[in-house]
Structure 1
Amino acid sequence: MNVNTEHQQQPKSGALDVVVWIVIAALLVGLVAVNHFYGKDSTNLVRAVVGVAVFAAALGLATLTRKGKEALAFAKESRTEVRKVVWPTRQETVHTTLIIMAAVAIMGLLLWGMDGILVRVIGWFTGLEI
């Protein structure tokens, strides 16, 4: 029997997940507050290192929650799918770019010409020659 695991009911996030998200929010709000109040007292290097460390800790905590695990699994699956993509060669890319540039130039000239004609026609009807 083939069971499709994507459509199975996922358990709701527990109380521990809520606590972890609160801790993550507190870490990030605290980081912004500390950076705001003590920003001029410390060097940029110290602020950057502490900021990256706190952000990494918050990200690490987020991966422990159900939503974080789902996001991590999605990122891994996306990376797998990107590896399956057949990328165009340099020659194909250059040719496609040239075709698009030519089409844009032709459409630009057509729209410019139509605009000029419409301005003259409307000017003739209204008597306001431009």
Structure 2
Amino acid sequence: MNVKTENQRNSLDIAKWVIVVALLVAAVVGNNIYGDMSVVLRAASVVILVALAGFAAATTEKGKTFLGFAKESRTEVRKVVWPSRKEATQTTLIVLAVTVLVALLLWGLDGILVRVVGLATGVTI
């Protein structure tokens, strides 16, 4: 690709990002200015403006890269073997049991150390 074509594409991307920001700012400012209007109308206009901003962002180089990444991520998530409900419950119970066991162990160790330090320094609690 020659430099002139690349510069044109870069300037188009910058213009598209300016449009994206302008649409998002218009959604926020318009929602605040027209606070006395119906909530349904304001919500619909915000959704439309955000959708337009998303479409404009998707047509940029970075937007296309992001969409490709999202599609690949979705494909990878479909390949994951998710645990069954029984496995998830058992694992959760094991984690809870180990957490309680370690908490009790640390509590006991803390009590012993407090007594040892108290005997060594002569300070009691």
For the criterion TM > 0.5, the same-fold answer is yes
Query: Which residue does the alignment assign to 1:8?
Result: none
Q: Tell me the TM-score normalised to structure 2 length.
A: 0.87
Segments of 5+ residues of structure 2 without an aligned counterpart are: 1-5
Partner of residue 40, structure 2: 45
TM-score by length of 1: 0.84
Partner of 1:76: 71
Check the 8 A contact 2:24/2:53 in 1, yes or no.
yes
In structure 2, the residue matched to 1:21 is: 17
Percent pairwise identity: 51
* 3-state SS of paired residue (1:86): coil
Number of equivalences: 119
- Structure 1 moving runs of 4+ over 3 Å: none
Query: Structure 1: which 5+ runs fail to align?
Result: 1-10
Distance 1:62 1:98 in 2: 45
Hey, which of these two has a bigger chunk of helix by percent?
2
CA displacement at 1:126 relative to structure 2:
2.7
Residue 3 of structure 2 is matched in structure 1 by none
CA RMSD of aligned residues (A): 1.5
* Match 1:61 to one of 53, 56, 77: 56
Q: 1:30 aligns with which of 26, 30, 48?
A: 26
